[in-house]
Structure 1
Amino acid sequence: MPAVLDRVIKTSVHEIGSTELTLERIKTIVQERWQLALAPVAKARIRECRAYLDQKLASSEQLFYGINTGFGYLQNVRINRAETNDLQYNLLQSHACGLGEEVPADIVRLMLLFKIESLAQGYSAVQLGTVERLIDFFNHDLLPVVYSQGSLGASGDLAPLSHLSLPLIGLGIITVKGKKVPAAQVLAQHDWHPIQLQAKEGIALINGTQFMLAYGFYNLIRAERALELADLIAAMSIDAFDGSLQPFHERLHQIRPHPGQIDTASKIRQYLSGSSIAEKTKEQVQDPYSFRCIPQVHGASKDVFADTLAVMTREANAVTDNPNVFPDDDLILSGGNFHGQPLAMALDFLSIAMAEIGSISERRTYQLLSGQRGLPLFLIKNPGLHSGLMIPQYTAAGIVSENKQLCTPASVDSIVSSNGQEDHVSMGANAAVKCARVLDNVYKVLAIELLTAAQALEFRRPLSSSAQVEDLHRAFRKFVSFNEADRVLADDLQLSISFINRYKWTTHVA
């Protein structure tokens, strides 16, 4: 899985408890390696909530779920006061049973950030030292090893968050500068003692949606770039296909004012401003839908992106463990804020929206290879002896089909766990992980379209496209040369994928 957050080392600080998290703020924190620190108001809230719970437990024999009872189906088992700390320690060990691939470093950083933000709001009754140790992990880039399988997306992301939390108590593995080191060894190197968990702390650490939320923001960051690339690459394809700009006229989109549609049409007009290919008279009356309906299709995906971002942003600034402690109201309430249904449904929809970006991209590739509009079959000078770019389209088609299969919604599924106590779950973790795979595939399909469009554009010479598109074309040719004759195209595809992950463009103003 590619890194999406290029690093620029700085010394800025994000003060938790004083500034809400937004997508831009999150990107800045992780890209520029900002340090984290607790605002004084956050420290006060954490201390107040912890003190309230300690006083409540000392003065009452009342049962509070997960604090002096067992977990899940074992909720009715009373835990005596002398064993409440052991209960939390046991919880982290027993629930750390993740499997599958290791979660990428970018996503683990986001998990730490979101878990710290949630705990710092002062409704989880953790010790101040516990939150500060998580901040130490983040600031020193000490990343617990977490696995991608094990969460049902309700009761919190139990298994992933248990692995994230194990190093607090000296267990588990930490990645240090790319090397895996036992947590106990890392703590000793920093002269840190393992945290002695108090009542409620274990369940506060592992109840929550921070695994699917971290994947959610990782996916949003990648989706944001993919949507921008899709418009720019589509602009090159339009000129390569000798397509009409009429479907992008401002008046058309004013009478169907979906925000994403309006934005896409505007971007295409901007990207193709000044193109001699676009300005010449067209023989065809209309273009195929994969060209003519770019604003409607790309735009709909942008609108889903905006809706998903709204859900994820609310979640990033929310409290999602259970139970929650309200000192000012003298309340300890057991509820279901750990249930990932809002995220699961949003991530399923984002997968569908981004898969459609790949689907329409593959159709443009197909059209460019079809021998229409004065282009040679498969964009090669001697078709027959050479197959040209015939087979990359096969590859794109296979990937698009895989994405269709991945887009079966995870959120419509559920499975009973904990002996029937946890009888409806969101499967949001599965939605999050497969959304990341969908996005990986979309980048591959866009790279194939770019490879194809760049080849086709050269058959339009001596006419030129716009300054923006020609900039893209020149930059791409430094990675992948014109295809004169058959060669091993897997190399070209890998170079094209690498290019679109790196390419940075500046907008030309007409």
Structure 2
Amino acid sequence: MKSSHMVDSEELTQKPAAIVVLDGQSLPVGDVVRLAHGAARPVPGTEAMKRVEESWHAARELAASGRVYGRSTGVGANRSETVPTGAAADHGLRLLRSHAGAVGNPLPAREVRAMLAVRANQLLAGGAGLRPTVVTALCEALESGAYPVVNEYGSVGTGDIAALSQLGLALAGEHPWEGGTPPRAQALDNNDALAMISSNALTLGQSALALDELRRLVAATQVVGALSLLAVDGSYEAYAEPVHAARPHPGSYAVATTMRRLLGAPERPTPPLGRIQDPYGFRCLPQIHGPAQDAADLLERTLAAEINAAAENPLIRADTALNSSPAAYHHGGFYMAQLALALDHFRLAIAQTARLSTSGLSALNEPGFTRLPPFLADGEAASSGVMILEYAAGAALGDLRAFSAPASLGHAVLSRGVEEQASFASLGARQTLRACDAYRHVVGCELVAAVRALRQRDLRIDPGLPVGLAFDLADAALEPDVVDRPLTDDVRVAAALLDQFADL
């Protein structure tokens, strides 16, 4: 399966036509994803580059005339150690070399490229005091498809210092690049090193990728839920506008509206003949998908704030417009509590929607709802049909449930007790990315069963409706044979179809 988030090196090195202007103030999550996938070319904004230039000159002036953390002093527990003037030129590279100790597997290209995009935009906010040519180099790398080798582990949510040190050494010509043509080497010094690594750009980039994929998968799950509802002659009543106007949570109201649109249902549907109400898997879909939509919106707002933030410590302010002296503010803006909590909230919410998908799958296996053989089997005595899909979906849901454990409960005391808190937003970002594949396979299992049930019942769906378009896509792609056979390929195909369903 090659889903929308999987990009090969050949695609990355093709010159994209679209342009994304990086201005340090208004970069959306969607553009970070496009840059990570090589689907756009970054261009630094003119005014933003002026801010970078002013900030760089201010930082050099401050470091030459006073004590500025990480520039004229050491870092962490070494914050009180003054860097001798004669050693200042080498201090920056020594700092990068000592901190470039990330471990574990090398990260995929798209995750590193997302980091480059976020860091370039943050630098353009004008608070880092980093030389402007570094921004240009990051944009050149994004355009050519080049990315440094970055290892997985090295952050606890108080700055991705190990990963960004590897980037800094790559920019200085001391660390390998992959992909396209690397940018020209940068002569980084003591005024550049901490400014380069004082960021959570990797965590933010990974979070942006995870949010984009999971938001689309949740939307696709609603399409699958609509197919399953039709397969069991479910009621539209649970999506009626008066129900959600009476309890107006924004996400639930929006999901109910979406379900009516997918199904072509009126705002006030007529109660069906037969059973009075459906199982929770259908009746509570807006109440379970709604919180996931709300959580996605919260995470997107949090990411938008951080992607466009000047959060470096110290924050360098030139304030030339105010005719005031430059200043360096030492602070804790690198601490990612908001992001860690938003990621945890989002994963817990999507775990609920995936669990609801397994409820729909169980209903599709039940003759009392479908009026078909148990497990949608072929009619041969004791045939198992799609029975195994419940087990496969349950196994994938188990992984998803494990990934949903709150990362923000983590704790660490580091650097001789000076850094005695950690948000573990970095862990939350990795867990959210890992949740994508498990989620995709849970819903793929439900889709295979829903299409089989619709085929066996020979139900005709209006092709002018979104749910009808979805059925036609799946009907053309999935194997029609219902004899007992391995269903691995069916789920693989169905899981890949979810990317197209999201566009419906």
Q: C-alpha separation between the residues in 2 aligned to 1:465 and 1:237?
A: 15
Instruction: Report the equivalent of 1:357.
Output: 353
Give the SS at the match of 1:375: coil
Q: C-alpha separation between the residues in 1 aligned to 2:245 and 2:404?
A: 31
Deviations 1:351-394 (A, max 9, x none): 11111111110111011112222122001122644211001111
Whether 1:35 and 2:41 are equivalent positions in the alignment is: yes
Whether 1:207 and 2:204 are equivalent positions in the alignment is: no
Alpha-carbon spacing, 1:86–1:397, altered in 2? closer, same or farther (3 Å): same
Alignment match of 2:304 (pick from 313, 334, 342)? 313
Contact 2:263 2:466 in 1 (8 A): yes
1:72-471 alignment, distance < 5 Å: 72-154=76-158, 156-176=159-179, 192=184, 194-273=185-264, 281-328=272-319, 329-373=325-369, 374-382=371-379, 384-464=381-461, 467-471=465-469
Instruction: Report the equivalent of 1:183.
Output: none
1:225 to partner: Cα distance = 0.6
Q: C-alpha separation between the residues in 2 aligned to 1:248 and 1:348?
A: 28
1:114 to partner: Cα distance = 0.9
Instruction: Report the equivalent of 1:23.
Output: 29
Contact 1:207 1:338 in 2 (8 A): yes
Contact 1:272 1:465 in 2 (8 A): no
TM-score (norm 2): 0.91
My pick for the range that moved more, 399-408 or 223-232, is: 399-408
Give the SS at the match of 1:372: helix
1:485 maps to a residue whose letter is V
TM-score (norm 1): 0.90
Q: C-alpha separation between the residues in 1 aligned to 2:401 and 2:462?
A: 33
1:279 to partner: Cα distance = 8.2
Deviations 1:242-292 (A, max 9, x none): 1111111111111111111111111111111279xx989431001111110
Contact 1:89 1:197 in 2 (8 A): yes
Contact 1:73 1:421 in 2 (8 A): yes
Give the SS at the match of 1:476: helix
Alignment match of 1:482 (pick from 480, 483, 490)? 480
Q: Which runs of 4+ in 1 moved over 6 A?
A: 5-8
1:471 to partner: Cα distance = 2.1
Q: C-alpha separation between the residues in 2 aligned to 1:473 and 1:235?
A: 10
Alpha-carbon spacing, 1:462–1:413, altered in 2? closer, same or farther (3 Å): closer
Q: C-alpha separation between the residues in 2 aligned to 1:300 and 1:383?
A: 43
Deviations 1:13-41 (A, max 9, x none): 33322761123444455567332222222
Contact 1:358 1:446 in 2 (8 A): yes
Deviations 1:96-155 (A, max 9, x none): 12222332222222211110111122211111112211121112111112122111111x
Instruction: Report the equivalent of 2:322.
Output: none
1:242 maps to a residue whose letter is D
1:238 maps to a residue whose letter is L
2:273 maps to a residue whose letter is K
Q: C-alpha separation between the residues in 2 aligned to 1:101 and 1:477?
A: 39
Deviations 1:410-466 (A, max 9, x none): 111111111211110111110000011112211111111111111111232255466
Contact 1:208 1:321 in 2 (8 A): yes
1:112 maps to a residue whose letter is L
Q: C-alpha separation between the residues in 2 aligned to 1:167 and 1:384?
A: 64
Give the SS at the match of 2:451: helix
Q: C-alpha separation between the residues in 2 aligned to 1:220 and 1:149?
A: 21
My pick for the range that moved more, 158-167 or 264-273, is: 158-167
Q: C-alpha separation between the residues in 2 aligned to 1:454 and 1:33?
A: 33
After superposition, the CA RMSD in angstroms is 2.3
For structure 1, which runs of at least 5 residues remain unmatched after alignment? 178-185
Give the SS at the match of 2:187: coil
1:232 maps to a residue whose letter is V
Q: C-alpha separation between the residues in 1 aligned to 2:501 and 2:335?
A: 38
Alpha-carbon spacing, 1:245–1:9, altered in 2? closer, same or farther (3 Å): farther
Q: C-alpha separation between the residues in 2 aligned to 1:208 and 1:81?
A: 26
Instruction: Report the equivalent of 1:56.
Output: 62
1:35 maps to a residue whose letter is R
For structure 2, which runs of at least 5 residues remain unmatched after alignment? 320-324
Instruction: Report the equivalent of 1:180.
Output: none
Deviations 1:455-508 (A, max 9, x none): 1112322554664323222211332122421111112122222222355654xx
My pick for the range that moved more, 129-138 or 300-309, is: 129-138
Alpha-carbon spacing, 1:121–1:462, altered in 2? closer, same or farther (3 Å): closer
Figure out how many residues of one structure are paired with residues of the other and give that number: 489
Alpha-carbon spacing, 1:274–1:264, altered in 2? closer, same or farther (3 Å): closer
Q: C-alpha separation between the residues in 1 aligned to 2:87 and 2:3?
A: 44
Contact 1:21 1:317 in 2 (8 A): yes
1:48 maps to a residue whose letter is E
Contact 1:355 1:439 in 2 (8 A): no
Q: C-alpha separation between the residues in 2 aligned to 1:94 and 1:73?
A: 14
Alpha-carbon spacing, 1:504–1:478, altered in 2? closer, same or farther (3 Å): farther
Give the SS at the match of 1:101: strand
Contact 1:348 1:409 in 2 (8 A): yes
